[in-house]
Structure 1
Amino acid sequence: MSPTQDAYDCVVLGAGPAGCTAATLVAKAGFSTLLVERESLPREHVGESLMPETYWTFEKLGVLDKLRASRFSKKVGVQFVDASGRESKPFFFRSHFDHDSSDSWHVERAEFDRMLFDNAAEHGAECLDQTRVLEVLFDNERAVGVKLKTSAGERRIASRVVIDATGQSSLIANRLGLKQINPDLKKAGIWRHYRGGDRDESGGGVKTIISHTSDQQAWLWYIPQSNDVISVGCVGDADYLLKGRGPAAQVFDEELAKCEGVARRLVDAEAVDDLAVAKEFSYTTTHAAGDGWTLVGDAWGFIDPVYSSGVYFALKSADMASACVVDALRTDDCSAARLGAWNAEFKAGTQWVRKLVHAFYSGSFRVGQFVKEYPQHAGPLTDLLVGKMFAPEMPALFADLDPWLEKAAAEGGSAGDSGEQLAAIA
């Protein structure tokens, strides 16, 4: 199948959560929209634990009822396990905010992405998978379309706006040299899926579990999904995990053996797929938009998986960017300034999560102690952990947290109670 016309108001590249969101919202506004995906859908991808704040974009997309009716595991909270194996009291989101938005999901991305792809089509976008983007076409510095390859051959498609949602491939950012690796977060991840692991459904659903290894050189996620499947991943410095230690499977097993919080939950489990590896996944871009184009989701940047912010950032960036795209198309002003007007607010909000990630890895984030000294920040800190990063209280929180972390590091603070993060502020 190939595009049905030679020109669109908007072409969206990549059918992950960001691309599907952008395509849906632009098409809903009445503009001709083409969404293209290189792979055949559904396609495999590491499972995701969703932040509760994804609710509001799902509401805009009209997929809440589909999610509620899906087989995805309902996520009701988070639990942390420290380096000694001590488990925090589970924190249930509804104990902080009793609203439907407090319930989220652990999703299998193949099915989840297909749901969003079909939803985009239902709202008027033309959606094509197995369609390769050969080139983003520019007239001087303005994006004017794309060159595609489908089963029917090559096509040149004109577009008033190109939205790059190609994930870490980040076609436009790589072409223009906009991508910047975060030198302080050169991490790597190794993961696989298991069947038969422990599933604690107290509280009406499952929880994301974050566990430190005994030497605190890495941490592991434990995400119960549907069909008795558990996603387990290990994250640490890229050099530590991937250089000079042998095959990834050996490294994964070694780190798992040092992580009592996960190992004991997998005693009766068996691996159901091969390992996957990703590295240096923390990066940003110097520009979010240019004349005729904008970046969303991982094409714009990615921080770290520790707080499960990836899909939320994808959805929220696409939500905000699509509003600017609709405004640009309505006013016939597809300039960089108009298309990128969303980014200042988005960047300001995501900086708080970035700071919290750095605090997690600092070795001095003793949250229980911090909240004891600054009880007024308990609520805002929890807000940030559930995704409310645009709350007005965030600057005041970090005005106190930043110097507190510096002092704790100077005094040799330990990350030993970081497993108590959510329980300490519930």
Structure 2
Amino acid sequence: MKNPDVVVIGGGPAGSTVSTLIAQKGYKVRLFEREHFPRFHIGESLIPETYWVLERLGMLEKMKKSHFVHKHSVQFVNSAGKTSAPFYFWDNKPHECSQTWQVVRSEFDLMMLNNAREHGVDAQEGVRVREVLFDGDKAYGVKIQLEDGTLEEVHAQVVIDASGQSNLLANKLGLRTWDPVLNKGAIWTYWKGAYRDEGKNAGATMVLQTGNKKGWFWYIPLHDDRISVGVVGPFDYLFKGRESHEQTYEEEVEACPGVKERLANATRDTGYFATKDYSYRCKQAAGNGWVLVGDAFGFLDPLYSSGVLLALKSGQLAADAVVEGLQKGDVSEAQLGSWGPDFNKGVDRMRRLVCEYYEGFSFGQFIKTYPHLRNTMTDLLIGDLFTERVDEVWEPMETLYPEGKVPPAPWFSVNPELDPEMKANELMLPAGYKP
């Protein structure tokens, strides 16, 4: 398969998803991954809406047989250490999709890539894509470098960039725009012997507000007695004026009662990891002969654990658009990017919920005031982002604002790089939106 129908750059969850779904329709797909799996990656917590994509991929039975920790809920802890009642996914949607997993990404990503191979994808590791080849504004293939240094050209009708935050095509075409509001960073490490709840709550994701309310911790129980614990906060606060990531992390743990208590008898199992300036999106989802999926298109925020869902969902939507285009002989920007507006609409719903949390939103107060909206709010938390039904929470939420507060500004109305007159698949909000 020298020249396939489709080339995919990157073997993470987005790349394995889009390649599998296209191969399932009988098209020839070659995938190039520069690293060798298994490889470390952050982003361990899945949310329930990943179920439906995993089902299409043929991954569900593999997940059920895995040793990944079962996740049934999410809980929030305020700055004083007070824990909310769990948001149980089953109470909201009594279906097996309401039990999901806390995954070790090195293992999960390898499972996904091998699953792609089982569906006919020619997935090669240790192969670096040096550039995407263009004829005018149309992509027609890639130049790859093998491990021995050999350079080759591989031609295809469609090139899909799933290169993650390397943003191969976005960098080449100048498409990436940074979120002007979510200017955050994260520092994290892994612990053994840390506290974990029992029974149904043993696999719950915890979101714990820091003592000074400037950020939050994630607390994610994994198998092998490991817990992933990371602190997220404003870039300037976390990364300026302190000597090291270790100092910052330890100071934040010390000042956060909920985390300090849970780590009291734990032993740190790794060094410290950090990432900065990670909230961005690209100006468009596709062009003539090319598509962006997963982190190559954008990354929102680790709050609510939406990263893997958005990778899988973008891969699914892009795959369907590519298959339809190949069937029609149409690999134009309009066809390949036809999924962009609906996807962006869903991302913007999650983005609003993220911004509300950072601006002081209280789940407990909201549910107490509007108990009939508990299920709708849980729908947002499980990743049911692609339906207008969930929009009923916003107006009630605004009634709880302190005097003078206004809703978080939409993406492109506060981003000078984005033009409200963009074509439909380039919009950061639904087509027809007026700032």
TM-score by length of 1: 0.92
* 1:266 matched residue in structure 2: 263
Give the superposition deviation at 1:214: 1.0
* 1:336 matched residue in structure 2: 333
Give the superposition deviation at 1:15: 0.7
* 2:56 matched residue in structure 1: 60
User: 167, 182, 188: which one pairs with 1:185?
Assistant: 182
Tell me how large the CA RMSD over aligned residues is: 1.5
* 1:420 matched residue in structure 2: none
The answer to whether residue 80 in structure 2 is matched with residue 77 in structure 1 is: no
Give the superposition deviation at 1:394: 2.3
* 1:292 matched residue in structure 2: 289
- After TM superposition, the structure 1 = structure 2 runs for residues 408-423 of structure 1, keeping only pairs within 5 Å, are 408=402, 410=404
Give the superposition deviation at 1:47: 4.5
* 1:316 matched residue in structure 2: 313
- After TM superposition, the structure 1 = structure 2 runs for residues 7-86 of structure 1, keeping only pairs within 5 Å, are 7-86=3-82
Residues in 1 aligned to 2:201 and 2:241: alpha-carbon distance in whole angstroms:
44
Matched residue type, 1:410:
G
Matched residue type, 1:75:
K
Residues in 2 aligned to 1:50 and 1:408: alpha-carbon distance in whole angstroms:
33
* 1:348 matched residue in structure 2: 345
Residues in 2 aligned to 1:281 and 1:81: alpha-carbon distance in whole angstroms:
24
- After TM superposition, the structure 1 = structure 2 runs for residues 26-425 of structure 1, keeping only pairs within 5 Å, are 26-152=22-148, 153-203=150-200, 205-363=202-360, 365-401=361-397, 403-404=398-399, 407-408=401-402, 410=404
* 2:420 matched residue in structure 1: none
Q: Deviations over 1:250-274 (max 9, x none)?
A: 1011011111111111112111111
User: CA separation of 1:216/1:190 partners in 2, compared to 1, >3 Å: closer, same or farther?
Assistant: same
User: CA separation of 1:197/1:371 partners in 2, compared to 1, >3 Å: closer, same or farther?
Assistant: closer
Residues in 2 aligned to 1:187 and 1:101: alpha-carbon distance in whole angstroms:
31
Matched residue type, 2:117:
A
Residues in 1 aligned to 2:96 and 2:102: alpha-carbon distance in whole angstroms:
16
Stretch moving more, 132-141 or 263-272: 263-272
Give the superposition deviation at 1:107: 0.4
Question: 2:217 is paired with a residue of what secondary structure?
Answer: strand
Unaligned 5+ runs, structure 1:
413-426
Contact 1:47 1:106 in 2 (8 A): no
Residues in 1 aligned to 2:405 and 2:124: alpha-carbon distance in whole angstroms:
56
Residues in 2 aligned to 1:10 and 1:234: alpha-carbon distance in whole angstroms:
39
Q: Deviations over 1:51-70 (max 9, x none)?
A: 11100000000011111111
Residues in 2 aligned to 1:151 and 1:309: alpha-carbon distance in whole angstroms:
34
Question: 1:240 is paired with a residue of what secondary structure?
Answer: helix
Contact 2:33 2:127 in 1 (8 A): yes
Question: 2:8 is paired with a residue of what secondary structure?
Answer: strand
Matched residue type, 1:26:
I
Question: 1:42 is paired with a residue of what secondary structure?
Answer: coil
Give the superposition deviation at 1:369: 3.1
Question: 2:253 is paired with a residue of what secondary structure?
Answer: helix
Give the superposition deviation at 1:411: 7.2
Unaligned 5+ runs, structure 2:
407-435
User: CA separation of 1:126/1:161 partners in 2, compared to 1, >3 Å: closer, same or farther?
Assistant: same
User: CA separation of 1:409/1:275 partners in 2, compared to 1, >3 Å: closer, same or farther?
Assistant: farther
Matched residue type, 2:399:
W
Stretch moving more, 40-49 or 228-237: 40-49
Contact 2:43 2:308 in 1 (8 A): no
Q: Deviations over 1:356-413 (max 9, x none)?
A: 00000012x1333334444443221110011111233123322443x336x326379x
Matched residue type, 2:300:
I
TM-score by length of 2: 0.90
Matched residue type, 1:141:
D
Contact 1:222 1:232 in 2 (8 A): yes
Question: 1:217 is paired with a residue of what secondary structure?
Answer: coil
Aligned residues: 405
User: CA separation of 1:409/1:260 partners in 2, compared to 1, >3 Å: closer, same or farther?
Assistant: farther
Q: Deviations over 1:338-363 (max 9, x none)?
A: 00011111111121100000000012
Give the superposition deviation at 1:147: 0.4
Q: Deviations over 1:103-149 (max 9, x none)?
A: 00000111000000000000000000111011111111111100001
Q: Deviations over 1:15-62 (max 9, x none)?
A: 110000001001111000011111111111124100111000000000
Matched residue type, 1:238:
F
